[in-house]
Amino acid sequence: MALLSVITAPDARLKAKSLPVDGVDGEVRALMDNMLETMYSAPGVGLAAPQVGVHSRVIVIDIAEKDATPEPFRLANPEIDWASEETILCEEGCLSVPEYFAEVSRAQSIRLRYLDYDGKDRELEPEGKLAACIQHEIDHLDGVLFIDYLSVLKRRIILRKLIKARKLQAQKIPA
Ligand code: NI
């Protein structure tokens, strides 16, 4: 397994739409494993392939508490076919938008179909935090970031700060 580098906003690669995978082969499984390792080491609770520069519809998630048994999800071609009208507000963050958190309204429960690690067709009906997290990751596959739900002004401020932080990082002289 290998750690992948995570792209931070603003970046055109985060705005591009990802394509479905033909199936879950060794290459897709390796991508899932590397993404999961990258997510755990960040640490984060979810990661989508475009965040590591791969425009395939693959996401990984684990919302288990820090010291609890890991509960990893590796999903390919996730597709939401039902969403509740009831919504929840969740405080969201994103490895591509480091150090910013904001409340986003999401469907409280959803039903989705996806291909699992073995390429099998699966169905899942998550609710609450897991449902919100899956919606956040699927958004990435469509080029949508959680800050896109905020006001234009708020988003601009965040992006400007991220650009500034990136410039400062680039100026740092390696020790
Ligand atoms: Ni994200």
- Split at pLDDT 50, 70, 90, the class of 7 is very high
Residue 6: DSSP 8-state: P
pLDDT digits (tens, 9 = 90+) for 77-108: 999 999 999 999 999 999 999 999 999 999 99
**Gap from CA of 175 to ligand 1 centroid (Å):** 31
Q: Answer yes or no: is 5 within a domain.
A: no
Q: What predicted TM-score, i.e. pTM, was given to this entire model?
A: 0.95
CATH value at residue 35: 3.90.45.10
Domain count for the chain, please give it.
Answer: 1
**Gap from CA of 34 to ligand 1 centroid (Å):** 16
Q: Answer yes or no: is 146 within a domain.
A: yes
Assess contact for 104 and 149: CB atoms under 8 A: yes
Q: Answer yes or no: is 2 within a domain.
A: no
18 token code pair: 């990802």
Catalytic residues: 137
Domain residue limits at 124: 12-172
**What pLDDT is stored for residue 175 in this prediction?**
61
